[in-house]
Amino acid sequence: MTAITGQAAASSSFPDAVESLRAQIKGEALLPGDPGYDEARAVWNAMIDRRPAAILRCDGVADVIAAVKFAKSEGLPVSIRGGGHNVAGHAVCDDGLMIDLSMMRAVHVDPVSRRARIEGGGTWGDLDRETQAFGLATPGGLISDTGVGGLTLNGGIGWLRSRYGLCIDNLTSVDLVTAEGELITANSEQNPDVFWALRGGGGNFGVVTSFEFKLYPVGPIVAFAAPIYPLSAGSGPIKFWRDYLADKNGDIGSLVEFSTVPESEDFPKEYWGQKVYTVAAVYAGDAEEGMKLLQPLREQGELVTDFSGEIPYCDLQKLFDELMPAGQYRCYWKCHYLSGLSDELIEEILEGVATTPSPNTLSSIWNFGGATAAVPAADTALGDRSMPYMFSIDSVWPDAADDEKNMSWTRAFWERMKQHSQKGRIYLNFPGHGEDQRTLVRQAFGDNYKKLAAIKAKYDPQNMFRFNQNIPPEG
């Protein structure tokens, strides 16, 4: 395998090559020192500070094709920016070409066929706004400014997973620019091998310039439960949540989120600064029926407050936006798929979350099952769906001086949880900063890894697209 390096960017002819590229494109080509370069390389996680050799802000598929051909001719590796929300900062590379799709956000909805197509730089807010005009939605994430591309390519976990599955389960077709600079369509009939790989295999196989999704009747109003219990309430409400949802995972997407009460008028003053957890749940059906079904989750003891109620679907999708504003916090997230949720494990989680070093940090237990679990392991690159829960540790803090304290706490907690994991598997959108990548990626894909490596070798034999949860080409 011939390795692509970034050495070409250091040559004296490189600025001339970029100038030639500018003459071919509609978008912008930026070099270090150019106006707009630093803004373009900034992403959501404030810890990420990388300097690409060049940034191409694409304004159409032709620009993406030109960018990939330029990277190939110059011997540059490529990073791909969609929404720029990946916690490991895979959108930005050092010394390579950053292909920025954030100007490509158009959405087209066909309400008759119940299909929506969105360009590769679009966000879930973009897609939800357009689909909800017709009372339709597809499973998305929990933060509206998350990029559709990054979330989808690694699986895509959101509120609608119970009834309609993951993002990848509703992906019907993509347009992809390969490492050769060729635009292809991939779906169940055209290039089905790479279509299989893209459903969970990440950004390893090219630049996706558009995604097509199935849509379902959702909203405009949905049922949302969000009772907040003090951590001192102990494990009782969480055990009830676990047992109550055991036969309802086909209808309710839910998580128990651990947090610290902010100094906000939205909360009683006597709870400011205290550790709490929210039993958050969404019913993917009639809102009135859903509120009745979710009511018992709100009756398990003393409440700090209760944000439950019927809510517009688009507002639901924005609830976490204020907790994670772009570029303002330093973030380090890790997770495990859990093999179960015993009483003992719940107590262990409660003990761990009580020691968070930052009041901005969140941790969550996510339920699975339902439509998510119904997909056979071999049907998508994501692999085995038998995990009943996931535990995520989402460390967030404002000050660089606290980096080591917060990251060390996260790693230690994650290591303690490893004994409860499902074969060491993780959700690859929560990978820390990509350390121990080779081991984690192999464990995440399990029996699908070898097939993915072979498809990678076919579509990207030189590993041009390696700023991701990377799968090196076979051989």
Token reading at 33: 């020192």
In a domain, 452, yes or no: no
Q: Which of 192, 218, 244 is the last residue in one of the domains?
A: 218
Backbone dihedral angles phi then psi of residue 73, each to the nearest 5 degrees: -65, -30
- 58/113 same-domain check: no
Q: What is the mean pLDDT of the chain?
A: 94
Inside any domain, residue 278? yes
pTM: 0.94
| Dihedral angle, C-alpha 429, 434, 437, 440, nearest 10 ° | -40
Q: Cα separations (Å) of 441 from 40, 300, 384, 429, 453?
A: 29, 39, 14, 11, 11
β-pairing, 275-283 vs 221-225, is antiparallel
Q: Decide if 348 is inside a domain.
A: yes
Beta strands in 82-191 (DSSP E): 97-100, 107-110, 115-119, 136-137, 171-177, 183-187
- Element (DSSP H or E) covering residue 138: none
**What pLDDT, on the 0 to 100 scale, is given for residue 5?**
53
One domain for residues 251 and 354:
yes
My answer on whether omega of the bond before 220 falls inside 30° of 0, hence cis, is yes
pLDDT at 276: 98
Note whether 256 and 365 are same-domain residues. yes
Is residue 268 located within the same domain as residue 352? yes
Same domain, 214 and 141: yes
The answer to whether residue 376 sits within a structural domain is: yes
Between the two ends of the chain, the Cα-to-Cα distance in Å is 7
d(CA 205, CA 459): 6
Domain-embedded: residue 460: no
Are the CB atoms for 168 and 380 separated by under 8 Å?
A: yes
Phi, psi dihedrals of residue 118, rounded to the nearest 5°: -135, 140
Is 213 within the bounds of a domain? yes
Q: Which of 187, 218, 249 corresponds to the end of one domain?
A: 218
Residues of the chain with pLDDT under 70: 1-10, 475
What's the pLDDT tens digit per position in 299-337?
A: 999 999 999 999 999 999 999 888 777 878 999 999 999
Report whether 281 contacts 307 (CB < 8 A). no
- The radius of gyration of the chain's CA atoms, rounded to the nearest angstrom, is 22
Distance, CA of 471 to CA of 474 (rounded, Å): 9
Task: Give the end of a domain, one of 74, 100, 126.
Answer: 100
Same domain, 416 and 271: yes
User: Does residue 268 share a domain with residue 169?
Assistant: no
Q: Does residue 272 share a domain with residue 415?
A: yes
Q: What's the CATH number where 348 sits?
A: 3.40.462.20
Residue 243 belongs to a domain: yes
Residue with the two structure tokens 């699975």? 368
Q: Could you list the residue range(s) of the whole structural domain that residue 135 is in?
A: 107-218
Cα–Cα distance measured from residue 177 to residue 83, given in angstroms and rounded to the nearest whole number: 18
Q: Give the 3-state secondary structure of residue 100.
A: strand
Query: Is the same domain home to 228 and 195?
Result: no
**Which residues is 79 bridged to in the sheet?**
98
- pLDDT (0 to 100) of residue 307: 97
Residue 177 pLDDT: 98
- pLDDT at position 309 is 97
Task: Yes or no: say if 103 and 211 are a contact pair by the CB < 8 Å rule.
Answer: no
Q: Minimal CA–CA distance to 48: which of 77, 90, 6?
A: 90
What is the residue whose two structure tokens read 């802000």? 57
Whether 18 and 113 share a structural domain: no
Q: What is the CATH number of the domain that holds 51?
A: 3.30.43.10
Same domain, 385 and 363: yes
d(CA 380, CA 430): 19
**How is residue 54 annotated by DSSP?**
E
67 CB-near residues (< 8 Å, 6+ apart): 21, 25, 56, 58, 78, 97, 99, 207
Torsion of CA 408, 399, 431, 184, to 10 degrees: -160
Q: Which residue has the tokens 């692999």?
A: 383
CATH number of the structural domain spanning residue 175: 3.30.465.10
User: Tokens in use for 271?
Assistant: 């709870």
Tokens 């978008």 belong to residue: 27
And the tokens for 136? Answer: 């339709």
Examine the domain organization and report whether 122 and 28 are in the same domain: no
Please report the pLDDT score of residue 1 as a whole number. Answer: 36
Q: How many domains does the chain have?
A: 3
Is residue 35 in some structural domain? yes
